[in-house]
């Protein structure tokens, strides 16, 4: 049971195992700290990924998650804000990496308590607790708990705030998404700044559907992932506009520089390998501002 959770709220902790599967995949990339933290992960993972037989689809997934990770960094670099709040960060250590390189940054990294406990332990095991030059904090936060959200944002000094997230909105139903948008918008209206979300996923088409293991399909069904996605990119834009946001920018994927590329290339048919066409677009990362 999530001890930060108000009585009337849903328990989201069943979503948390997905963060572990993602980290194990990211362990094959050059995402900061992913290899080291993945090596510390204990026990089985939820999606039955076949690490002994890494095929084309395995590397396609790694490519997707690596590209999604960098897409947030790409847009973050366009803002010059020093206060950054990551929501539902899972086992990602983007914030620590930024704070290792920049003493001016205050980064608050949040997720549900169970994830934060494991992450704190990983940081200790890797002797990274004093690595940050900037101010790096781990805080438990259920993003739908408005009061807790405010307590976390109050930890920042005055000034604009950037909120970032990836891999969250597809676990929230429409009302929950609206509620989160309201909280984020209020925060941005008060402080200035922007919201960078990599979770602009339209429903899948035959072109963008990846094969899933049985357990992954069951996980997606249990959490209504497909229903929670947007009908289309236009519908996503309309949704955010209705919630009082404007899309300022979209990240541009840089497939050529992904660390996963050499692995993936080995599995690509020759005609695809030589093609200049990017892979099918399955999501977008947007920078939003409150209007
Ligand atoms: C698919 S993982 C993504 C993790 C990380 N952002 C990444 O991309 O590797 C989904 C994450 O959302 C978190 N989560 C789900 N519901 C949440 C909520 N209501 N508040 C905060 N975090 C939540 C889970 O604990 C989990 O870590």
Is any ligand 1 atom within 6 A of the Cβ of residue 171? yes
Q: What pLDDT sits at residue 66?
A: 98
**Position 165 in a domain:** yes
Q: How far apart are CA 25 and CA 281, in angstroms?
A: 20
- Listed residue (14, 193, 195) closest to 87, CA to CA: 195
Is any ligand 1 atom within 6 A of the Cβ of residue 38? no
Q: Would you say 264 and 272 are in contact if contact means Cβ atoms under 8 Å apart? A: no
pTM for the predicted model, two decimal places: 0.95
Q: Would you say 90 and 168 are in contact if contact means Cβ atoms under 8 Å apart? A: no
**Position 8 in a domain:** no
3-state secondary structure of 209: coil
**Position 4 in a domain:** no
For 108, phi then psi, to 5°, come to -110, 120
The alpha carbon of 21 and the centre of ligand 1 are apart by a number of angstroms equal to 12
Q: Would you say 28 and 17 are in contact if contact means Cβ atoms under 8 Å apart? A: no
pLDDT tens string 14-53: 999 999 999 999 999 999 999 999 999 987 888 888 888 8
Is any ligand 1 atom within 6 A of the Cβ of residue 90? yes
Q: Are strands 135-140 and 161-165 parallel, antiparallel or unpaired?
A: unpaired
Q: What pLDDT sits at residue 8?
A: 63
How far apart, in Å, are the Cα atoms of 74 and each of 89, 106, 150, 178? 17, 18, 27, 26
**Position with higher pLDDT, 77 vs 49:** 77
**Position 124 in a domain:** yes
Q: What pLDDT sits at residue 187?
A: 98
Is any ligand 1 atom within 6 A of the Cβ of residue 145? no
pLDDT tens string 114-154: 999 999 999 999 999 999 999 999 999 999 999 999 999 99
Is any ligand 1 atom within 6 A of the Cβ of residue 167? yes
For 71, phi then psi, to 5°, come to -65, -35
Q: Which residues contact 263 (CB under 8 A, 6 or more apart)?
A: 28, 54, 59, 62
Q: How many CB atoms lie within 10 A of CB 46?
A: 18
**Position 248 in a domain:** yes
Q: What pLDDT sits at residue 139?
A: 98
Residue among 13, 37, 65, 88 to mutate when testing ligand 1 (max atoms within 8 A of CB) = 88
- How many domains in the chain? 1
Q: What pLDDT sits at residue 50?
A: 83
Residue among 19, 86, 116, 223 to mutate when testing ligand 1 (max atoms within 8 A of CB) = 19
pLDDT tens string 204-258: 887 777 778 888 889 999 999 999 999 999 999 999 999 999 999 999 999 999 9
Query: Quick one: tokens of 278?
Result: 């990017």
Radius of gyration of the chain (CA): 18
Q: How far apart are CA 233 and CA 154, in angstroms?
A: 33
**Position 3 in a domain:** no
The domain in which residue 254 lies consists of 21-290
Is any ligand 1 atom within 6 A of the Cβ of residue 34? no
Residue among 4, 15, 170 to mutate when testing ligand 1 (max atoms within 8 A of CB) = 15
The alpha carbon of 15 and the centre of ligand 1 are apart by a number of angstroms equal to 7
pLDDT band at 4 (very low <50, low <70, confident <90, very high): very low
Statement: residue 276 has pLDDT above 80: no
**Position 11 in a domain:** no
Q: What pLDDT sits at residue 39?
A: 95
Is any ligand 1 atom within 6 A of the Cβ of residue 183? no
Is any ligand 1 atom within 6 A of the Cβ of residue 111? yes
**Position 127 in a domain:** yes
Atom 7, ligand 1: which residue's CA is nearest?
Answer: 90
Q: How far apart are CA 207 and CA 228, in angstroms?
A: 19
Is any ligand 1 atom within 6 A of the Cβ of residue 15? yes
Query: Considering only 91-95, 101-105, 122-126, 268-272, which range has the smallest mean pLDDT?
Result: 268-272
Which segments within the chain are labelled E, that is strand? 83-87, 106-111, 135-140, 161-165, 193-200, 245-250, 284-290
Is any ligand 1 atom within 6 A of the Cβ of residue 12? yes
Statement: residue 2 has pLDDT above 50: no
Is any ligand 1 atom within 6 A of the Cβ of residue 89? yes
For 279, phi then psi, to 5°, come to -65, 160
Whichever domain contains 267, its CATH number is: 3.40.50.150
Statement: residue 6 has pLDDT above 60: no
């Amino acid at each position: 049971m999530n001890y930060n959770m108000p009585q009337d709220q849903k328990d989201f902790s069943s979503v948390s195992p997905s963060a572990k599967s993602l980290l194990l995949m990211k362990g094959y990339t050059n995402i900061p700290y992913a290899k080291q933290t993945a090596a510390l992960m204990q026990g089985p993972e939820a999606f039955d990924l076949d690490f002994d037989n890494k095929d084309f689809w395995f590397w396609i997934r790694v490519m997707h998650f690596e590209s999604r990770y960098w897409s947030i960094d790409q847009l973050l670099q366009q803002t010059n804000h020093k206060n950054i709040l990551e929501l539902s960060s899972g086992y990602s250590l983007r914030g620590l990496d930024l704070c290792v390189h920049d003493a001016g940054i205050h980064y608050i990294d949040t997720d549900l308590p169970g994830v934060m406990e494991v992450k704190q332990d990983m940081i200790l095991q890797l002797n990274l607790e004093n690595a940050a030059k900037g101010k790096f904090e781990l805080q438990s936060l259920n993003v739908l708990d408005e009061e807790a959200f405010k307590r976390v944002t109050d930890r920042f000094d005055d000034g604009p705030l950037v909120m970032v997230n990836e891999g969250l909105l597809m676990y929230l139903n429409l009302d929950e998404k609206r509620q989160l948008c309201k909280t984020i918008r209020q925060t941005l209206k008060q402080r200035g700044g922007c919201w960078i979300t990599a979770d602009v996923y339209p429903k899948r088409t035959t072109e963008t559907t990846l094969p899933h293991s049985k357990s992954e399909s069951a996980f997606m069904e249990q959490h209504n992932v497909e229903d929670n996605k947007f009908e289309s990119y236009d519908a996503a834009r309309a949704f955010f506009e209705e919630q009082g946001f404007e899309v300022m920018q979209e990240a541009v994927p840089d497939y050529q520089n992904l660390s996963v590329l050499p692995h993936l290339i080995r599995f690509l048919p020759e005609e695809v390998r030589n093609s200049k066409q990017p892979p099918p677009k399955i999501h977008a990362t947007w920078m939003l501002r409150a209007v």
